[in-house]
Amino acid sequence: MALNRAERHLVAASPTFGQRLERVVDRYLPYLLVAPAILLLLGLIAYPLIFNLNLSLRDVSILNIRSGNWDWIGLRNYVRTIQNPDNISAFGRTVVFLIATVSLELVLGMLAAIVFNINFRGKGFLLTLALVPMMITPVAVGLIWRMLLNAQWGIVNYYLGVVGLPAVVWLGTPTTAFISVILVEVWWGVSFVILVFLGGLSALPPEPFEAAAIDGASSWQIFRYITLPLMVPLIIVVATIRAIDAFRAFDVIYSLTQGGPADATRVYALQIYQTGFQNANFGLAAAQAMLLFVVVMILSSGLIRGLVRSD
């Protein structure tokens, strides 16, 4: 039977099977291409997290880890973690360590970035020297500074003697050891801050600075009212990254002091290490690690929320 004009128009307008297939491919192909990477990331992140959560809810130690007879004890490991004064002390040290290191890194990193944002002779060489610590592994940083800060033959005390100052037992007393790990962490981490801040300063639009200079604004006024507000989102990002790193700090401190003397530098990550690998209480260490994970997530979400609001 012959088709009328309207029916012929509908048939011509309806997509063929090949066209429908092409539309489906165009719509779902990007998801199919990224699916293997997403599944891999989920396997690398979700499985260890779920396994650690399960471990934290059971009684697992050196006595029963091979047998697999892990008794379910619920939240008992979490309660023990919160009630243990050593964990509370380690957490408090970690907070102080975080505040001190991040504050110093942000201030010193901003000052150095402002200096390196100016063209002067020898800038490339000095900038290279400033970025060298970032290229050294944390364990090597701790071992190098452990030799430099040695009370008897360390080069730091040698130069103190050259200028007439008394030698300092840097790693031998609780106060000086804690100050030492803070300074070493800052020395290692400030390179990253300088690099990011320098990139941010280089990307700022020149028009506001030119207008402020024409209006007679001082350098401090330009920094306070133009540079700093424009850099706030980047400062929040850097502060987030460095705060997370400070909360998880382990390598530098362990290779430098191993948590001593008298537990003065035992931060929370070292406390987890002692519980799990020295005391062989794996369930309790897993609970401590989960609490650290929660704290880091809260810290990250708060700082990221501040970043979103600043936009």
DSSP 217-239: --HHHHIIIIIHHHHHHHHHHHH
Enumerate the β-bridge partners of residue 58. 72
Per residue in 125-138, pLDDT (tens digit) is 999 999 999 899 99
Instruction: Judge whether residue 11 has pLDDT over 50.
Output: no
CATH fold of 92-310 reads MetI-like fold (1.10.3720)
Task: Please report which confidence band the pLDDT of residue 10 belongs to, taking 50, 70 and 90 as the band edges.
Answer: very low
Mean confidence (pLDDT) of the chain: 87
Per residue in 244-281, pLDDT (tens digit) is 899 889 999 999 999 889 889 999 999 999 999 888 89
| Residue 216 φ/ψ region, left for φ over 0, alpha for ψ in the -120 to 50 degree band, beta for the rest | left
CB 222 within 8 A of CB 209: yes
Q: How far is CA 191 from CA 185, 260, 276, in A?
A: 11, 27, 32
Instruction: Judge whether residue 100 has pLDDT over 50.
Output: yes
